[in-house]
A = this chain, B = another copy of it.
Amino acid sequence: MIYIELTARQEEIIEIVKENEPITSEQIADKLNLSRAALRPDLAILTMAGILEARPRVGYFYSGKSVMNFISEYIKKIKVKDVKRVPVVVQENTSVYDAIVTLFLEDTGTLFVMDEEGYLAGVVSRKDLLKIAIGNMDIHKVPVGIIMTRMPNIITVGPEDTVYQAAKKIVEHEVDALPVIIPVKKEGDTTSKYKIVGKITKTNITKIFVELGNY
């Protein structure tokens, strides 16, 4: 893909087509006091860019496509598997106190909880921990398994999903991080279990935003 800064005349042509579609090249040339030959390169560029559509024996139409479509297309090409990060994991029987210590030691914002077989069991946020920390429970005794959000209430994303889809889920469900999971179905099981292979966070997305601006 390439981009081209439109000339004043090209912008004018777009405006003329917008207001008069369908319009022939003769009619456009007339309005601009130009010959058809002089107009030809501009019409070629605008058609190639998909901004104008030429229909034989009818004339030119405005396609409505804008440069924003391009940014959108680019953003939707970034996949979860290409930017996911390593999740910090604790066990279901880890105490709330130890979970909080892990949060500080690992310098992270969300903890993912595994069951005994190593499958995703739950997610614990800073606010989940804060709520318990100011309550009346003994945080050295209460296990995170009791306070975590558990399946099927966890909002998740797959490695082949786009970061755009992940960002949408983060915004819609007001969470800080999503586990990246792969479903595993063992013989005889009626429901899937989930292996956690990464995480996508708001920090992640903020970093991508900075990288896009760095070019």
Contacts and interface: CB of A to CB of B under 8 A. Distances in A.
A51 interface: yes
Interface stretch (A30-38, A85-93, A144-152, A162-170): A162-170
Interface in A161-179: 163-164, 167-168, 170-171, 174, 176
Interface string A168-195: 1011001010000000000000000000
Interface in A79-122: 97, 100, 103-104, 107, 109
A136 interface: no
Chain B CB count within 10 A is highest, among A46, A67, A130, A213, for A213
A1 B206 contact: no
A72 B213 contact: yes
Chain B CB count within 10 A is highest, among A66, A133, A134, for A134
Interface residues of A, number: 58
Contacts of A71: 71, 74, 212, 215
Contact of A130 (B130, B176, B203, B213): B130
Given A72-B215, A100-B130, 9 more contacts: A1-B4, A2-B49, A2-B67, A4-B48, A130-B130, A176-B202, A202-B203, A208-B209, A209-B209
- Which 8 pairs show the lowest CB-CB distances between chains A and B? A68-B215, A202-B202, A133-B133, A164-B213, A2-B49, A72-B215, A126-B126, A75-B213
